[in-house]
Amino acid sequence: MYEVFTTTHFSSGHHLRNYPGNCEKPHGHNWKVKVTMRADELDELGMALDFRDLKAALKVITDDLDHRDLNEHPAFQRDNPSSENIARHIFAELKKSLSSERYRPHKVTVLETDACGVSYSED
């Protein structure tokens, strides 16, 4: 089993509906994202997954989240744009755009500060 990962970031605002504290008020974060993919075998070039492909797929997803109010994003109309739901959203989008018989998303970690974050996986 091989694990391939990359990191990126995006900036956006949000608020947590019905949260009993300051996070109910609009505020922003410089979110950090780490995506880990798993591959069962290597391709003919000896690679699990080309970093270029992983970074390009992730960029499409994070560009859609960047510099916007996440509460207005279609993915967060029903669920709060919490770190947990953001990680799950990124995972689901990667699963749609970057999965094959050989590789698939394994884990998405989202940090809203340098000290606080959450990971999502389906394993």
Residues with a catalytic annotation lie at 23, 67, 112
Which residues, other chains included, contact 76 with Cβ-Cβ below 8 Å and sequence gap of 6+?
Answer: 14, 70, 85, 89
b/e string for 5-24 if b means 16 or more Cβ within 10 A?
ebebebebebbbeeeeeeee
Question: Which string of DSSP letters, residue by residue, matches 45-86?
Answer: TS-SS-HHHHHHHHHHHHHHHTTSBGGGSGGGSSS---HHHH
Q: Angle at CA 85, nearest 5°, toward 37 and 119?
A: 40
